[in-house]
Structure 1
Amino acid sequence: MNKPIGTLMVLAALAAGGVRAADMQAVTAEGEARASESGAAQNRVAGLDDESARLEAEYRQLLRTVDGLETYNRVLGEQVAAQESERQDMAASLDNAARLERRLVPLMDRMIERLDTFIDEDLPFQVGARHAAVDQLRQRLGDPDAPVADTLRRVFEAYAGEAAHGRSLDSWRGTLELDGERRDVNLLRVGRVALMYRTLDGEALGAWDPGAGQWRSLDRGEYRRAFDMAMKIADKQAAPELIRVPLFGAREVTP
Structure 2
Amino acid sequence: MTKVINKSKIAAAVIGMFAIAGSATATAQTDLRTLQNEEARVHEADRQSQDKVDSLFEQSQDLLYDYRAVVDEYENLKVYNDHVQTLVDDQKRSIESLQRQVNTIDETKQGVVPLMYKMIDALDQFVELDIPIHKERRQERVERLREIMTRSDVTTSEQYRQIIEAYQSEMDYGSGLIAYQGTLQFEGQDIAVDYFHLGRVAFLAQSMDLRNAWIFNNETKEWESLDDEFLSPLTTAIRMARKQTANDLVKLPIFAAESAE
The answer, yes or no, to whether TM exceeds 0.5 is: yes
One-letter amino acid matched to 2:46:
Q
One of 207, 212, 224 as aligned partner of 1:199: 207
Distance in structure 1 (CA, Å) of the matches to 2:171 and 2:100? 31
Distance in structure 1 (CA, Å) of the matches to 2:238 and 2:104? 47
Corresponding residue of 1:227: 234
Alpha-carbon distance change, 140 to 41 in structure 1, aligned in 2, over 3 angstroms: farther
Alpha-carbon distance change, 95 to 175 in structure 1, aligned in 2, over 3 angstroms: same
Aligned partners of 1:140 and 1:146 also within 8 Å = no
Segment of structure 1 superposing worse, 182-191 or 1-10: 1-10
- The Cα shift of 1:156 comes to 3.6
Alpha-carbon distance change, 198 to 98 in structure 1, aligned in 2, over 3 angstroms: same
Aligned partners of 2:233 and 2:250 also within 8 Å = no
One of 147, 160, 172 as aligned partner of 1:164: 172
Distance in structure 2 (CA, Å) of the matches to 1:29 and 1:145? 108
Corresponding residue of 1:43: 47
- Partner SS for 2:259: coil
Distance in structure 1 (CA, Å) of the matches to 2:153 and 2:90? 27
Aligned partners of 2:177 and 2:199 also within 8 Å = yes
- The Cα shift of 1:245 comes to 2.0
Alpha-carbon distance change, 101 to 151 in structure 1, aligned in 2, over 3 angstroms: farther
- Please, which runs of 5 or more residues in structure 1 have no aligned partner? none
- Partner SS for 1:212: coil
Corresponding residue of 1:184: 192
Aligned partners of 2:131 and 2:203 also within 8 Å = yes
Corresponding residue of 1:80: 84
Distance in structure 1 (CA, Å) of the matches to 2:255 and 2:40? 132
Segment of structure 1 superposing worse, 28-37 or 8-17: 8-17
- Partner SS for 1:192: coil
Distance in structure 2 (CA, Å) of the matches to 1:99 and 1:124? 44
Segment of structure 1 superposing worse, 183-192 or 237-246: 237-246
Equivalences for 1:14-33 in 2 at 5 Å? 14-33=18-37
Q: CA offsets, 1:130-176, max 9 Å, x none? A: 3444566567764647693x665554443223212111221222112
Q: CA RMSD in A?
A: 3.3
Alpha-carbon distance change, 181 to 41 in structure 1, aligned in 2, over 3 angstroms: same
Work out the number of aligned pairs and report it.
Answer: 251
Percent identity among equivalent residues? 20
Corresponding residue of 1:121: 129
